[in-house]
Amino acid sequence: MYLQAAIIRAQVRRTAQFHPTVWGEYFVKHVSDNKTVSVWTEQAKILKEEVRRMLTSATDHKSSEKLKLLDAIQRLGISYHFEGEIEKALKQIYQGFKDDGNLCTVALRFRLLRQQGYNVSSDVFNKFKDREGNFREDLTNDVQGLLSLYEASHLCVRGEDTLDEALEFTKTRGNYPEGVMGNKKYLKGIKLQLIYQKGLGERERETISSD
């Protein structure tokens, strides 16, 4: 009797008191029928064609809007649907390259081209420096520009002092006592923006470094 009770106690397993799932039994009960899947597929096809039209219809490939569109497509992880269109757009941007625009536009253009393997000089940022060769303090009023510059600085290769200086500048400046890096809102933005950068493969990084 004693042995039987001991065996029963040994067989009893403790259960964790987990909170009920917020999803309930939705994923257990929900089964997509073929009609629903077909509708979703058709909607996705329409949206892809719309994005493809946006990529190819604009004539001004140097515009900030085109750059933002390319950036958004890559961040969303859907660039594999538009590889040909993206490559064509970036090629046109590179061939008609100018360092015009504000800090945000220049930094975004620099990053998009360089991460694709194009040989873009970091000298494009010299226009934002003062006579002493330092980044101008008035740039601290442009938080979006600082974020864009911060992200671009992570594509630095050995010997690029300008991008090293850009990284230090963006980390210690801003319209806040602790600089951009001390502001939680924009720090979160930086972390999200850098996800794509951290996802660059070794092949892409080697291409950038070899230019």
Q: Domains in the chain, please, with CATH?
A: 82-211 (1.50.10.130)
Q: CA 126 to CA 44: how far, in whole Å?
A: 43
pLDDT band for position 199 (cuts 50, 70, 90): low
Alpha-carbon separation of residue 44 from 33, 48, 70, 160 (angstroms): 17, 6, 18, 42
- pLDDT by residue (tens digit) across 24-53? 666 666 666 777 778 888 898 999 999 999
- pLDDT by residue (tens digit) across 89-144? 999 888 887 767 899 999 999 999 999 999 999 999 999 999 999 999 899 888 88
pLDDT band for position 173 (cuts 50, 70, 90): confident
3-state secondary structure string across 11-74: HCCCCCCCCCCCCCCHHHHCCCCHHHHHHHHHHHHHHHHHHHHHHHHCCCCCCHHHHHHHHHHH
Secondary structure of the chain: what % helix, strand, coil (to 5)?
Answer: 70, 0, 30
% of the chain residues with pLDDT over 90: 32
Q: 190: helix, coil or strand?
A: helix
Q: CA 203 to CA 175: how far, in whole Å?
A: 38
Q: At residue 83, does pLDDT exceed 90?
A: yes
Q: CA 6 to CA 1: how far, in whole Å?
A: 9
Q: CA 161 to CA 153: how far, in whole Å?
A: 10
How many CA atoms lie within 13 Å of 28's alpha carbon, on the beta-carbon side? 4
Look at residue 204 in the predicted model and tell me its pLDDT: 45
In whole angstroms, what separates CA 28 from the centre of its chain? Answer: 34
Q: At residue 177, does pLDDT exceed 50?
A: no
Look at residue 16 in the predicted model and tell me its pLDDT: 61
Residue in the block written with tokens 């899947």: 37
C-beta neighbour count of 124 within 10 angstroms:
20
Alpha-carbon separation of residue 127 from 41, 77, 149, 173, 176 (angstroms): 47, 33, 13, 18, 24
- pLDDT by residue (tens digit) across 55-78? 887 555 557 888 999 999 998 889
